[in-house]
Amino acid sequence: MRNKRLMHPRNIFRTPPDYTALAIKYKDFRRVCKLELTGKVRIDYRNEATLRALNKMLLEEYFQLHVDIAPGSLVPTLPLRLNYILWLEDLLVPLKLAATEEVNGIDIGCGSSCIYSLLASRKNAWHMHALETNASNLEHARNNVKLNSLENLVEIFKQIDKQVVFSDFFITKPDVKFHFCLCNPPFYDSSLPDPFHATTRNEEKRAPPHNCHTGNEEELACEGGEVQFVQRIIEESDLHKQRVCIFTSMLGHKSSVGRILATLNTKQITNYTTTEFCQGNTTRWGIAWSFGTSFSSNSVTTVNE
C-alpha cells in the first residue's frame, strides 16, 4: 500500500491486515474476495460490493462494530476515518483534559454508517452528537447506534435546514460546551454542469483513484462544493465561538486548502493548523481552527513520524 508509512503513527493499518486469514474467518468477506494462484487473497477495490464487505469486516474485526450501510450511500474507508480520529486526539492534548472528563464532539453529516461517531465512542468513549439531514441516513445511523449498544455515547440529531450547521442543534443543548466538531463535507460543486467529472487532479503527477466512488448525490455534492460548505462552518463558528473549542473539517481537494485558509484570514481567524491524511493511493487534508485553544501559529503538520 503506497503512503502507508505516512499514516498516523498510531494507525493500526500501517501494518496491513492478513486478508487471507480474515477471509477464512468472515464468510461475507470471503464471498467477495478473489484467490490468486499464490494462495493470497486479492481485493477488487473498484467494486462497491467488495468495499462494503471489506469495511464491515474491518470494523467488526478491529473495533467490534457492526455497521449497516444504506444502499447507495457512502462507504467509508476505515484507515482514513481512523487517521482523522487520531488527529483529533492529538488536537485535544493541549486542552489537558482529566482522564475522567467527559469529551463532547459534534459529527456534522454523520451519514448512514455514522462511522466517525461510532469509532470515537467505541475507541475513546467520547460523547458524540451526530447531525444528519437525509432521512434514510438518519434511520440507518440510529439503527447502527442501537446495533452497537452505544446509545449512552452517541446521540443522533435531525437537521431540518440544510443551510444551518449549528444554530438549531445548539438550541437543544444550551448548557453543553463541545470540545470539537468534525466534518467530511460533500466534495463536489453541484452548481457545475458535470460536477462528478470535473477535473481536480494533476493526472501527470498523481496516481488514479484506487477505490470506486460511492455515495448518493447529496453526500457527494452541494452548491459550491466542500469550500462553500466549510466556509459556512467558519461563518457559524464565528457566531458560536464559545460553544466549540476546536472546529475541524476534512477536505478532499488540495486546492481547497488555500481557499479555506484565505477565508480564515479574511475573518481574522489566525489560530489554525492543517494536516495531510495519507493512506494507500489516497490523500486528504484536514483543517482545524480555534478561538481559544492555541496551535502553533499558522502551523502546517503532517500525520507521519
287-299 pLDDT per residue, tens: 999 998 887 645 5
Query: Sorting pLDDT into bands at 50, 70 and 90, what band is 194?
Result: low
Rg (CA), the chain: 19
Q: Is the pLDDT of residue 152 over 80?
A: yes
Model confidence at 5, in pLDDT bands (50, 70, 90)?
Answer: low
Domains of the chain: 72-300 (3.40.50.150)
* Contact predicate 59/78, CB 8 Å: yes
How many residues does this entry show for the chain?
A: 305
Instruction: Please count the CA atoms within 13 angstroms of the CA of 202 that sit on its side-chain side.
Output: 5
Instruction: Give percent of the chain above pLDDT 90.
Output: 70
SS (H, E, C) the chain: CCCHHHCCCCCHHHCCCCHHHHHHHCHHHHHHCEECCCCCEECCCCCHHHHHHHHHHHHHHHHCCCCCCCCCCCCCCHHHHHHHHHHHHHHHHHHCCCCCCCCEEEEECCCCCCHHHHHHHHHHCCEEEEEECCHHHHHHHHHHHHHCCCCCCEEEEECCCCCCCCHHHHHHCCCCCEEEEEECCCCEECCCCCHHHCCCCCCCCCCCCCCCCCCCHHHHEECCHHHHHHHHHHHHHHHCCCCEEEEEEEECCHHHHHHHHHHHHHCCCCCEEEEEEEECCEEEEEEEECCCCCCCCCEECCCCC
How many Å apart are CA 51 and CA 181, to the nearest integer? 27
pLDDT at 92: 95
Burial call 120-141: b when 16+ CB within 10 Å, e when fewer: bbbebebbbbbbbebeebbebb
pLDDT on residue 303: 45
Q: Evaluate if residue 279 carries a pLDDT over 60.
A: yes
Q: Contact, 8 vs 1, CB < 8 A?
A: no
The predicted structure's pLDDT at residue 139 = 96
- Residues 51-70, mean pLDDT to the nearest whole number: 95
pLDDT digits (tens, 9 = 90+) for 85-116: 999 999 999 999 998 899 999 999 999 999 99
Assigned C-alpha cell, 68: 449497516
Confidence band for 217, pLDDT divided at 50, 70 and 90: low
pLDDT mean across residues, the chain: 87
Q: Is the C-alpha dihedral spanning 97, 103, 108, 114 positive or negative?
A: positive
| pTM (two decimals) | 0.90
